[in-house]
Structure 1
Amino acid sequence: MGFLYDDAVVIKEPQTPGDNTLITVNCPDKTGLGCDLCRIILLFGLSIAKGDVSTDGKWCYLVFWVVGKPTTRWYLLRERLLEVCPPCTPALSEIFYFRPEFQQPKPPKVFLLKFWCTFDRKGLLHDVTKVLYELELTVKRVKVFTAPDGRVMDLMFVTDTRELLHTTNRQEETKGQLSAMLGENMISFEIELAGPGVTDNPQGSAFLPPAITDDTFGTSDCVSVTVDNELSRSHTLVRIVCQDHKGLIYDIMRTLKDYNIQTSYGRFSSKAKESFEVDLFIMQVEGKKLLDPEKQKALCTRLKMELVRPLRVEVMSRGPDTELLVANPVELAGRGRPLVFYDITLAITSLSIRIFSVEIARHRIDDREWEVYRVLLDEGDAALVPRSLIRERVVKNLMGW
């Protein structure tokens, strides 16, 4: 049976205010491990200031310097990082190797949270989302309806990081924290296991504008991606220089994971004028350099696209109403970027706009799957705010600018 060392993940909080927190990961390697770790760091609302990655193909050592927050639950972050580290098993040589049967965990169960509230105040949906985030419940789909009398019905399909939402204690904890936030305005609350139609991630069928579906991203001087096969005999060097944004390293590692590319050594750090530099020595999964010019071009193009426009945002008319659309890329493993819905609701709340309804669905755009958020804004509130400002505020929140 596989197991992990106690020091597989070590978090060292800064001794001096203003310094970065040091996270070290020392465990067996697997393709996509860097992506999984960076996703969890992003999920906890942290940004990576710099890092080093090194692996021999069997064992890896990763170091991240992250910008923490006073509210960060470091003990919980360590638990979540440990969960994605591959377990190991002792071999006769006393070297520990990754057991591949642990690489693909079963997808978590999806639960439906259904509750009615007696009012629709500005920021309500964001407050609910914040409570779910603190409970480690991940929002997969949302449907929000505002009745003519002001009552609100929320249908939220969630997964539980702790995988305990089927238990009475966990359900009572969830109801208790939502009730504490909503007070006497909560009319009813139910939790039930969602049907297979939700877990199968049904595809959305509604029209999407070109601003969402268009894969062309134009030219941008703020992103440079180059490939060098001369520096190393066994590896291809990918060098990236770009503007920093929230989830930058996750976006890079997610792309490499989807291309089934392994990173043997990497170093990345923020530089002056908000720029970020990344050097990665990579190889294909069969252990060969990336020599094919067409594959090089495809990888560089995808990386540029992910870094210029990691999420797609558009504000448009839907009849007399204003609709916000946000498209979030989905990994081949089936997961989208975390905290997108949290960031959207925070941006809308900061503009004092009420949210009338929300729908989240999966869409196929060309050869990729996207998680598309459709947010219908309150007609009266949205009319007072320019659409360009709505889009700008949402983009800034999502990108951490």
Structure 2
Amino acid sequence: MGIPSDEVVIIRPPERPEDPSLITVSCPDKTGLGCDLCRVILLFGLSIVRGDFSTDGRWCYVLFWVVERGRKATRWDLLKKRLVEACPHASSLLGIEIYSFSRHTDQRPQVFLLKFSCYDRMGLLHGTFRSDLFSVFVYIFFFPKFDCKIADVTEVLCELELTIWRVKVSTTPDGRVFDMFLLTDTRELLHTKNRQEETCTQLRAVLGDSMCTCDIDMASEEIAACLQASASLPPSMTEDMLTQETQYEAYNPVASSSPLSVSVDNSLSQAHSLVQIQCHDHKGLLYDIMRTLKDYNMQISYGRFDAAENGKCNIDLFVVQNDGKKIVDQNKQDALCSRLRMELSSPLHITLVSRGPDVELLVANPVELCGKGRPLVFYDITHALKMLEIRIFLAEIGRHVVGDREWEVYRVRLGDDHELCASRDKIVKGVTKMLMGWH
């Protein structure tokens, strides 16, 4: 099994502008590899329109046909690099075990505190937190009240291969903005003077004369400890967000023509269980399926994904449990199907609630067991609010444990504008369509 090339990842451009690009991955297999690859592709703002997976249990061969949905050109070289990093090392037939051991024994990367100040400018919020080009695990707390236009400060951090873990932005009455970023460096060079100067120089090139100061220091243990998840959510938020069912069909009538169906069939293969899914497409659909299977320690031996132009998707996955056996236990089958239905019908929970005189937008999504959150959520939220011309007064992002699951919860305070009360459904609809890729 494999391809006639020594390259782990090959990206072939389309023959015609309207055709998809083809991503080919050939590497040692591991549980959750499909999830990790789909997450990287989603992170770069690409949509998977077709996919094929096959493995003999040790070596995996994957094909993704992807299309660009955003206005920004895809950085294919960086995408290839990130996909290669997600793959196990193919040094030998024992590559899977070596990879697994090395990844679990790696030390936590050093955390640095980037501080810079500049004069207020429109669009610092939406542009600054653009995260479509790099891996972001974000906990954010800030107090700006800006319009949502483009500034792309985080694009600079992306190009420098710096990963944002937490951000705090505040404004002063004299119009200055103070930004604090907790960062880790993929290159592991941010402790050097040259690397720090490079970072500040690139930021200054974006902010121009409005930038006042820029400092980078190693974060203290107390600051680094802020990366830990919160223990729980306030009861009111739990009731508002996590006990209600979101009806997305109202915001995408086409979805009603593609009812969700999930089933497990053990009659077609002696060694594998066939998981069959029929549903309507949404942004990150294949990622949602793969992360659920990864959390359940399911291994895909063969799979096929196809998204039609009308939005209907058909997914066939031949899977085994982590012990190499098919899913015979009916309770396990029911639990897997139930979780897949829940994740595909409501991958995100979205609602508006009143907080005194203000209106607060709440968005929650489950975190993978490995600790990774869903890509692009905050960017899509701010993008949707920008399109609706709604100003943000306060926003906070954090990790919270509810029951036996960890959630990433986004709280966006929209202020006390009385017109917001009359446009609640419009706000929820706009944010939902942006997050689901139905805009």
Q: TM-score, normalised by structure 2?
A: 0.82
- Further displaced range: 6-15 or 233-242: 6-15
- Equivalent residues of 1:141, 1:359 under 8 A apart: no
Q: Which residue pairs with 2:89 in the alignment?
A: 87
Q: Which residue pairs with 2:272 in the alignment?
A: 235
Structure-2 change in CA distance of 1:173 and 1:248 (3 Å): farther
CA distance in 2, matches of 1:251, 1:321: 33
CA distance in 2, matches of 1:11, 1:224: 32
Name the structure with the higher strand share.
Answer: 1
- Equivalent residues of 1:144, 1:357 under 8 A apart: no
CA distance in 1, matches of 2:422, 2:113: 33
Offset of residue 384 of structure 1: 8.3
- Equivalent residues of 1:113, 1:192 under 8 A apart: yes
CA distance in 1, matches of 2:110, 2:231: 19
- Equivalent residues of 1:30, 1:86 under 8 A apart: yes
Q: Which residue pairs with 2:73 in the alignment?
A: 71
For the pair 1:197 / 2:193, whether they are aligned, the reply is no
- Equivalent residues of 2:245, 2:346 under 8 A apart: no
CA distance in 2, matches of 1:385, 1:162: 49
Aligned residue pair count: 393
Structure-2 change in CA distance of 1:190 and 1:326 (3 Å): farther
- Equivalent residues of 1:202, 1:361 under 8 A apart: yes
Offset of residue 271 of structure 1: 1.9
Structure-2 change in CA distance of 1:217 and 1:111 (3 Å): same
For the pair 1:249 / 2:286, whether they are aligned, the reply is yes
Structure-2 change in CA distance of 1:12 and 1:259 (3 Å): same
What amino acid is aligned across from residue 74 of structure 2 in structure 1?
T
Residues 263-274 of structure 1 aligned to structure 2 (within 5 Å): 263-274=300-311
- Equivalent residues of 1:51, 1:267 under 8 A apart: yes
Q: Which residue pairs with 2:386 in the alignment?
A: 349
- Equivalent residues of 1:141, 1:157 under 8 A apart: yes
What amino acid is aligned across from residue 154 of structure 2 in structure 1?
L
What amino acid is aligned across from residue 29 of structure 2 in structure 1?
D
CA RMSD for the aligned pairs?
2.6
SS at match of 1:355: coil
SS at match of 1:390: helix
- Equivalent residues of 1:146, 1:356 under 8 A apart: no
Structure-2 change in CA distance of 1:219 and 1:326 (3 Å): closer
For the pair 1:294 / 2:331, whether they are aligned, the reply is yes
Q: Which residue pairs with 1:208 in the alignment?
A: 237
For the pair 1:370 / 2:399, whether they are aligned, the reply is no
Residues 10-159 of structure 1 aligned to structure 2 (within 5 Å): 10-68=10-68, 71-90=73-92, 99=98, 100-104=100-104, 105-119=106-120, 121=122, 123-130=123-130, 131-133=153-155, 135-136=157-158, 137-159=162-184
Offset of residue 318 of structure 1: 1.6
- Equivalent residues of 2:88, 2:95 under 8 A apart: no
- Equivalent residues of 1:49, 1:270 under 8 A apart: yes
Offset of residue 125 of structure 1: 0.8
CA distance in 1, matches of 2:62, 2:406: 29
CA distance in 1, matches of 2:395, 2:112: 18
Which of 212, 222, 225 lines up with 1:187 in the alignment?
212
Offset of residue 103 of structure 1: 4.2
Offset of residue 235 of structure 1: 0.3
SS at match of 1:208: helix
SS at match of 2:91: strand
SS at match of 2:310: helix
* Alpha-carbon displacement from aligned partner over 1:338-368 (angstroms, at most 9, x marks no partner): 1212212212222223322222211112110
Q: Which residue pairs with 2:133 in the alignment?
A: none
> What are the ranges of 5 or more consecutive residues in structure 1 without an aligned counterpart?
none
For the pair 1:393 / 2:430, whether they are aligned, the reply is yes
- Equivalent residues of 1:8, 1:82 under 8 A apart: yes
What amino acid is aligned across from residue 83 of structure 1 in structure 2?
E
Offset of residue 149 of structure 1: 4.7
SS at match of 2:268: coil
- Further displaced range: 253-262 or 62-71: 62-71
- Equivalent residues of 1:28, 1:98 under 8 A apart: no
> What are the ranges of 5 or more consecutive residues in structure 2 without an aligned counterpart?
131-152, 250-255
* Alpha-carbon displacement from aligned partner over 1:304-337 (angstroms, at most 9, x marks no partner): 1111111112222221122222212111101101
CA distance in 1, matches of 2:168, 2:396: 5
- Equivalent residues of 1:266, 1:279 under 8 A apart: yes
